[in-house]
Structure 1
Amino acid sequence: MFGKLKASLGIGAAKVDTVLESMSVFQGDTLKGVVHIQGGDVEQQIDAINLKLCTEVKVESDNSVSYQSFVLGKLQAVQPFTIQPNENKQVPFELKLDDETPITALNALKNLCHVWVETSLDIDFAIDPKDRDFIEVKPLPVAAKVISAIESAGFAMVKADVEKGYLRGGNFSSKSGCYQEIEFRNNGFINKKEIELSFILEGGVMHCLAEVDRSLSMRGDQYISFTLPLGASDGEISQAVSRVLSV
């Protein structure tokens, strides 16, 4: 009885550790791995193994900015089971990345984009054991080429973050409830310009929304959206990016 009381307080309780096949994936990939559960000092009932794909989003109010965890996807790996003292149980899983999962592999001066898998054991009347594994999300080739084209035009990637809310382009809109902004800036004096770029993967295409701010322009911010197939040619990418650069 005393052992169960200690376990309910997290002392000598079951532990969880998620091991991913790869810590580096591309947009739209499927995460694969194994959840390792190590039994504690007493028998415990595990009601579920919950895996969550998370990111951190910026939330702006009238007077402040805060950051909070945001769940992009979730998976319940098993049905309820009992783990015996010191028993080791392994549960394989697959969790597809949400198409709007932010890219984290960015060479930004200030990169605030983080993605992780959080694993927890659902145990009645106990502190749920948890494990957090950060992953690197790389841009698909079409997104990487758009970024490269903007940088080749003299723009530096200065910041990347994830904001709470939705985006709407000419023929698309986001669905996850958060969106990534990748900010570029050039060093021009007369033609000083900032570009905020967002990608939305949807099936076999990559949607892009660019917000362009010219410091000396009287027209205010301009928005340009375009859609490219995942296998877009260099010419198609160059033509799309030139619309953004010409604003």
Structure 2
Amino acid sequence: MVFKRLLGALGVGGPTVDTVLAGPGVFPGGTVHGQVNLVGGEREAVVNGVALCLAARVEVEYEDGEGHRTQEFGRVEVCGPLRLGAKEQRVVPFAFPVPWETPLTAVGGQRLAGMALGVRTDVDIAGQLDRGDTDPLEVEPLPVQRRVLEALDALGFRFHRADLEAGHIRGTGQVLPFYQEIEYRAAPRFADRCNEVEVSFVTGPHRVEVVLEFDKRGLFHGGDSVRTFVLDHAAGEHDLTGTVDGWVRGVLGH
């Protein structure tokens, strides 16, 4: 993918920047490879630095309601100060590490409805920060995450939407200031005990905390039930349908 724009700090005739990703997607904890191409304008320009970051739309609760903000995370500097001559071309390769807790935006190539997350290129030129647009990045699940989602599908739960919530999930090792909720409608056999279930992954290099929140509002039981289960990455080598079924039955009863 190629993302090209004119750097607005110097106006018409100024330099341009292209961000080129080696591939369209990545896994949590993985690395995005690519290059930033700088092309000089009609006159020399001083570039103080180039940075890449991930940016996502996050839902925030306020006293008078809910809203959204753009949350930056995983920022890395890819280039220090340089002088860019008129019409000069510079290529800056990068290897951009993606945090383990990076939210998923697609499963099996299908984008998750409700997600807005991408890569942004920021260029400090002539002492002014030129913030680029956020260009979509496809984040696919790790094997263990995919197995959990496949198990929910196999049990009859149906994906509805996903979003990002500002805040922390109590009792987990969460590092980022927000978390993802992947919402599923209840499987028919559990519909009398649950309206929906929301799945959150708190992922690290050695294990994944799987947080399941069961919505029982409007049902006889009432309220929500939240449980956290832990899997290591090796669990992604196995079918987890029986494991997830046991989790669900343990919370909702047999």
TM category, shorter: 0.7 to 0.9
Distance in structure 2 (CA, Å) of the matches to 1:109 and 1:102: 12
Distance in structure 2 (CA, Å) of the matches to 1:30 and 1:199: 19
Q: Give the TM-score, by structure 1 length.
A: 0.88
**Which residue in 1 is equivalent to 2:219?**
216
Distance in structure 1 (CA, Å) of the matches to 2:119 and 2:133: 8
What per-residue deviation string (whole Å, max 9, x for no partner) do you get for residues 122-161 of structure 1?
0125572635421100001111111111121111111100
Q: Contact 2:167 / 2:177 at 8 angstroms: preserved in 1?
A: yes
Pair 152,35 (structure 1): closer, same or farther in 2 beyond 3 Å: same
Tell me how far 1:116 sits from its aligned partner: 1.1
Match of 1:227 among 226, 230, 251: 230
Distance in structure 2 (CA, Å) of the matches to 1:218 and 1:9: 62
Match of 2:200 among 194, 198, 201: 198
What per-residue deviation string (whole Å, max 9, x for no partner) do you get for residues 137-196 of structure 1?
000111111111112111111110011111124xx3311101000011126453443101
**Which residue in 2 is equivalent to 1:177?**
177
SS in 2 for 1:244: helix
Pair 110,36 (structure 1): closer, same or farther in 2 beyond 3 Å: closer
* Alignment RMSD (CA, Å): 2.3
Pair 187,150 (structure 1): closer, same or farther in 2 beyond 3 Å: closer
Q: Contact 2:155 / 2:245 at 8 angstroms: preserved in 1?
A: no
Q: Answer with 104-113 or 55-64: which moved more.
A: 104-113
User: Please, which runs of 5 or more residues in structure 2 have no aligned partner?
Assistant: 1-7
SS in 1 for 2:122: strand
Q: Answer with 110-119 or 43-52: which moved more.
A: 110-119
**1:195 partner letter:** V
Distance in structure 1 (CA, Å) of the matches to 2:71 and 2:177: 9
Q: Contact 1:163 / 1:179 at 8 angstroms: preserved in 2?
A: yes
**Which residue in 1 is equivalent to 2:3?**
none
**Which residue in 2 is equivalent to 1:98?**
99
**Which residue in 2 is equivalent to 1:57?**
58
Q: Percent identity?
A: 31
**2:24 partner letter:** M
Pair 110,245 (structure 1): closer, same or farther in 2 beyond 3 Å: farther
Distance in structure 2 (CA, Å) of the matches to 1:96 and 1:237: 31
Quick check: 1:244 aligned with 2:235?
Answer: no
Aligned residues: 239
SS in 2 for 1:52: strand
Pair 187,149 (structure 1): closer, same or farther in 2 beyond 3 Å: closer
Quick check: 1:152 aligned with 2:154?
Answer: yes
What per-residue deviation string (whole Å, max 9, x for no partner) do you get for residues 176-226 of structure 1?
101000011126453443101100111121111111122413352111111
Q: Give the TM-score, by structure 2 length.
A: 0.86
Q: Contact 2:59 / 2:68 at 8 angstroms: preserved in 1?
A: yes
Pair 225,127 (structure 1): closer, same or farther in 2 beyond 3 Å: closer
